[in-house]
Structure 1
Amino acid sequence: METIIPLIVQAISGAVGGGVVGNLVKQISMNMLPKLLSGAIGGVAGGTALAGMMGGGDATAGLDIGSLIAQIGGGAVGGGALTGIVGMVMKNMNKG
């Protein structure tokens, strides 16, 4: 159970980050579901990477405030980044 909570935090913050980026960048003409899914996937990747760098070792090992902030921040940034990439790829695919 201790390993699933950080992943849920990362996925939720990634979905939020993906939704925000998708709404801010008007060139990303995606429906809400792809924004949230790409955000959640990017959030887990980004949150795990940042928490691992900041906390050292296993990113899912602890629930202290430092690792929680790293998971939320990394999740939001990772989710936003992946949503932006997916949006741009989808835009370019629709052009051609």
Structure 2
Amino acid sequence: MDDRRNDEPRRARRRPPATAGRVARLAADHVAEMTGKEPEGITSLEQAEDGRWTVGVEVVETHRIPDMTDILAVYEAELDPEGELLAYRRVDRYIRCQVGER
């Protein structure tokens, strides 16, 4: 005998809300997948009131010799509250040895 209390189909379980560390890793993975470039680091991370995350991910776009002349870029990745990629865009590009705000 089936002891189900509810005949409605079970809904797929959503992942728990993402933590900042998990979101940063996911954003880096998403940017790497979309651009084919390995992330160097996270430059910014912010959660909006609606739960969406915006993460700045720095990558090396062009390796040069010497490496202080590498061309770096920052991609901004927007993730939903569970860490799924909603959008990404390149927001900055510069030479590694540049100092100061651009």
Q: TM-score, normalised by structure 2?
A: 0.32
Q: Which has the higher strand share?
A: 2
Higher Cα Rg: structure 1 or 2?
A: 2
Tell which has more relative contact order, 1 or 2 (C-alpha 8 A, sep 6+): 1
